[in-house]
Amino acid sequence: MSEKIYVGVDVGGTTIKVGLCDAEGQLLHTYEGATETDKGTDAILHNIARYARNIVEQSNYGWEQVDGVGVGIAGFLDISKGYVKYSANLYIENTDLKGFLERELGKTIKVNNDANVAALGEAWAGAGRGVAHCVCYTLGTGVGGGIIIDGKIVEGFNSMAGELGHIAIVPDLEAIQCGCGKMGCLETVSSATGIIRMAKDAVARGDRTTLAQVENIMAKDVVDAAKAGDEVAARIVSRAAYYLGKSMAMLSIVLNPQYFIIGGGVSKAGDFLFNQIREVFEKYTQDQAKEGVKIVPATLGNDAGVVGAAGLILRG
């Protein structure tokens, strides 16, 4: 039992998920506990440490086998210091998360943001296994992103690299303001929120669409309507796909990754969405840059967070 193991912690607003991985990124064991955001920063920090110990205790592995603990957390960080500047959904600010966990757990600690960590999970042990250069998108409420070059997360000078949802890609004339305050961000059109907004706008405008009969429109309703032949819905999904494809064409000439990996709820639209993205990508990407490049679905689902967090120790 001298095999090394890696603990990955995915800190969400409600639940803290923990995973135990081997050096290949195989998920050996999982654990979940309440975040207890309402009890404040100290409680959250102690819960992270406690759950990290708990998962190892409940497994067949010993604490001495733990080579390190990685943590993924939503918010603005100083990644290299493992410092949380501000996390809106945890109500944490100016907190030395890495320092606390090092003292509490006596192990190597790495901290990164949730989107980068999910990207690393997919690149390390999911759809991108064995691929050195991957760009990952998570299409959910927003558009999350992470960039993996030579197997490692690109962090950037202010820990702000990989924020793909905030690429200003919609031309000024058609741009609306993003939650970040800027105009024309990718997530204004290619997130679930963006798709829902475009659908509601179409209904409010009086466009002829079956979506007018849907009471509380979800992104899935729009995709389903588009698949069923609703032209208004189809135009909305095409627009979401168009800007995703264009962003990938652009990233191909900037970073030239081998794989674009797409996860998150909206990605469940499957080939209906993927093929439209691929078509735009084909059109806008230079031949030399796209040879052998693939746009593929994520494979780890909700496990990407804990697997990627564990991966921070080896690949962070």
Q: Which residues of this chain interact with a second copy, rule CB under 8 A?
A: 76, 132-133, 147, 149, 154-164, 166-169, 171, 173, 180-183, 246, 249-258, 284-293
Contact by Cβ (8 Å): 312, 19? no
Q: How far apart are CB 65 and a second copy at their closest, in Å?
A: 30
- Which residue in this structure is represented by tokens 């296994």? 129
- Please, which residue, 13 or 156, has the CB nearer to a second copy? 156
Q: How far apart are CB 242 and a second copy at their closest, in Å?
A: 10
Q: How far apart are CB 174 and a second copy at their closest, in Å?
A: 9
Q: How far apart are CB 250 and a second copy at their closest, in Å?
A: 5
Q: How far apart are CB 163 and a second copy at their closest, in Å?
A: 5
Contact by Cβ (8 Å): 16, 33? yes
Nearest 10 degrees: Cα torsion 38, 39, 40, 44: -100
- Please, which residue, 28 or 149, has the CB nearer to a second copy? 149
Contact by Cβ (8 Å): 306, 27? yes
- Please, which residue, 187 or 230, has the CB nearer to a second copy? 187
Q: Which two tokens stand for residue 75?
A: 């918010």
Q: How far apart are CB 184 and a second copy at their closest, in Å?
A: 8
* CB atoms inside a 10 Å sphere around CB 290: 17
- Please, which residue, 54 or 89, has the CB nearer to a second copy? 89
Distance CA 87, CA 81 (A): 15
- Please, which residue, 14 or 288, has the CB nearer to a second copy? 288
Distance CA 28, CA 184 (A): 42
* Beta strand 259-263 pairing with 134-139: parallel
Q: How far apart are CB 303 and a second copy at their closest, in Å?
A: 26
Amino acid identity of residue 78, one-letter, is D
- Please, which residue, 275 or 286, has the CB nearer to a second copy? 286
- Please, which residue, 61 or 137, has the CB nearer to a second copy? 137
Contact by Cβ (8 Å): 69, 9? yes
- Please, which residue, 218 or 250, has the CB nearer to a second copy? 250
The torsion angles phi and psi of 158, rounded to 5 degrees, stand at -105, 25
> Hey, is 207 helix, strand or coil?
coil
Q: In what helix (H) or strand (E) does residue 138 lie, and over which residues does it extend?
A: strand 134-139
Q: What is the largest CA-CA distance in the chain?
A: 66
Distance CA 164, CA 146 (A): 7
Q: How far apart are CB 189 and a second copy at their closest, in Å?
A: 14
